[in-house]
Structure 1
Amino acid sequence: MKIGIYGQFYHENAEIYIQMLLDALQKRDAKVLIEENFLEIINRNQDITKNFSACSTFTKLDKSFDLFFSIGGDGTILKSVTFVGDLGIPIVGINTGRLGFLATIQKEEMTESLNHILEEEYAISERSLLIVETFPHNKEIEPLNFALNEVAVNRRNTTSMIKVETHVNDKYLTSYWSDGLIVATPTGSTGYSLSCGGPVIDPQTNSLLLTPIAPHNLNARPLVIPDSSTVKLKVSGRENTFLVSMDSRIATLENETEIVIKKAPFTIKLLQLHDDSFIKTLRKKLLWGEDKRN
């Protein structure tokens, strides 16, 4: 068994959970590689007493990896997606952060969860992604021109609104006068889109979501469309440039650049324990069903 481990930041007491993970994997004689920059963060943190310096590292993945452990929060999983890409390696999200819709394995339940994972007692939740093309082409977009949560266009260096001319399947939909527009997957419906008033969508739903950001017209509402759709955007405004984001990655584009967004030809596999579900996660994270009147 070959395992990759990645994290972005050092969370409090993170070394405890990293050591628990390494101990469990070593007992199974797994070959473990830690992402190079993450290992450097671990080794230079003064609170860590264990010596991880002898661990093997990676800077790039290949199909020989069996599992990829993401240690952090949802943002760390989004970064993990850029390593995994279309390789089909299942991602295991260990939540050492706060709110986590994607990183669902809680650090307090590490021992039991790892036992289930190493005994292959889990399911795989396949998540759709979006890919982005621009005309003219922009080097900042490629080669990581995909997103698990959402693609968004936003105003840049201005308090003025931008106009986002939007076509769906080559048919004109509308022009959003707003701070921007989010095109989200069902997975991303619980992220940026949710904070802008978009609906929650089950990850297994075959759909895309258009959510305007602070629209000037109050009749501009979030719209759910089939994930077979192709969305084309063209932005204009007082500034000459605007921002496009793909999850946590941001690029600057010139006004009137055509952005084409559609479903990616590959999926991301998220490992899910058998007693976990999207409904359970919603209930837990959004406190649904709890009486808070006392």
Structure 2
Amino acid sequence: MSIAIHSRQVCSASIEFLEKITLLAKDYNKKVIISTTFAQLLNLNELNCLKYLSIFDIEALNALHVELMISLGGDGTLLETTHYINDKAIPLLGVNTGTLGFLTMLSCSEAVTELIHFFEGDYAIEQRTILSLCGEHISDAFALNEVALLKRDTASLLTIDAYIDEKFITTYWADGLIIATPTGSTAYSLSCLGPIMLPSANNFVITPLSPHNLAVRPLVVPETAKLSFIVKGRDKDMLIAVDGRSIPAATQQRLVIEKAPFILKLVQLGHTSLFDVLREKLYWGMDCRKT
């Protein structure tokens, strides 16, 4: 079985991590393979572990026997890696070389130590809900964090008719609309005053972007709901952001967003909880005047 690593950037910490994890995996009779994207950023000839490494095409994960996928970078890299894993049920571990890192909680040094526990079977899997988006000429679009319905080439408001299980909710007059998972509740939705949901919550949240009516607030809905949206505007085009990936689309079409038929297996090592991350990253319970 192989340990796969994907990254979009190289730094001294990521190189040191690659060296150490490759030798550690060898001790447990595991092979480390790295994505072509990562390999192209590295000076392979300078790696001490080169003879133990293989390179793989991340688009061809189905053909590989991968026991664990490691995303090496920030949350954006992890979202990209999730897109490649899709429905393949490969456990994913986020290792942080960035700054914020809500999803990539472990540093490189912490990950090397904690991966010993993984190799020895001492780890937990968190099942994270995935969103599915379908529309005219749009299929197989999946998001771990959120789907955002956005303006494209106009400063005018969008008019968005929203439905839950074919029942009309309301018409949003806003700059856009975010539909977020519990995982995504601490991302784009949070910056637009959406609520924080625990990863285990069986809900989605609909968060308007700068709504015209100030009484329109974020709405929490069950993950079993089938959400439908019809977007109208002065412009015939709009933009749909799926975990940051932009999809140009036409307005006046029906967009359906619901729970995907598969989940992401997010590996949890160590004892860090969401509340630990909120205190560390968002300074919950801290008086910044005293720092």
**Do both share a fold (TM > 0.5)?**
yes
CA distance in 1, matches of 2:171, 2:264: 32
Residue in 1 that maps onto 2:203? 207
Provide the rounded CA distance (Å) in 2 between the counterparts of 1:187 and 1:196: 15
TM-align CA RMSD: 1.8
Larger helix percent? 2
Could you tell me how far apart the structure 1 residues matched to 2:211 and 2:43 are? Answer: 46
Residues 1-294 of structure 1 correspond to what in structure 2 (within 5 A)?
A: 1-11=1-11, 13-43=13-43, 49-50=46-47, 55-59=53-57, 60-62=60-62, 64-134=65-135, 136=136, 138=137, 141-143=138-140, 145-294=141-290
C-alpha separation in 1, matches of 2:173 and 2:65: 47
For the residues of structure 2 that align with 1:208 and 1:93, how far apart are their CA atoms? Answer: 23
Whether the 8 Å contact between 2:19 and 2:49 is mirrored in structure 1 is no
**TM-score (ref. length: structure 2):** 0.93
**2: CA distance, partners of 1:110 / 1:171:** 47
1:18 offset after TM fit, Å? 1.9
Contact 1:121 1:274 in 2 (8 A): no
Residue 179 of structure 2 contacts residue 207 of structure 2 at CA under 8 Å; is this kept in 1?
Answer: yes
Give the superposition deviation at 1:52.
6.8
Counterpart of 1:133 in structure 2: which amino acid? C
C-alpha distance in 2 between matches for 1:22 and 1:79: 23
Decide which moves more: 35-44 or 182-191.
35-44
Q: Which moved more, 1:162-171 or 1:17-26?
A: 17-26
Return the alpha-carbon distance in structure 1 between the equivalents of residues 72 and 185 of structure 2: 22
For the residues of structure 1 that align with 2:239 and 2:50, how far apart are their CA atoms?
39
Tell me the percent identity: 39
Q: Aligned residues, how many?
A: 286
* Structure 2 unaligned blocks of 5 or more: none
User: Matches of 2:89 and 2:174 in 1, distance apart?
Assistant: 37
TM-score, with normalisation over the residues of structure 1? Answer: 0.92
Aligned-partner Cα distance in 1 for 2:2–2:115: 15
Contact map agreement 1:11 1:97 (CA 8 A) in 2: no
Range moving further from structure 2, 19-28 or 218-227: 19-28
8 Å Cα contact 1:99/1:285 also seen in 2: yes
Runs of 5+ consecutive residues of structure 1 not aligned to the other structure? none
Residues of 2 paired with 1:82 and 1:187: CA distance?
15
SS of residue in 2 equivalent to 1:86: coil
- For 2:171 and 2:120, how far apart are their aligned partners in 1? 52
Counterpart amino acid of residue 19 in structure 2: Q
Query: By how many angstroms is 1:279 displaced?
Result: 2.0
Q: Displacement of 1:122 after TM fit?
A: 1.2
SS of equivalent to 2:77: helix
Match of 1:66, SS state, is strand
Looking at structure 2, the residues matched to 51 and 159 of structure 1 have their Cα atoms a distance apart, in angstroms, of 54
SS of match in other structure, 1:293: helix
Q: Distance in 2 between matches of 1:290 and 1:280?
A: 12
| Mapped partners of 2:200, 2:100: distance in 1 | 21
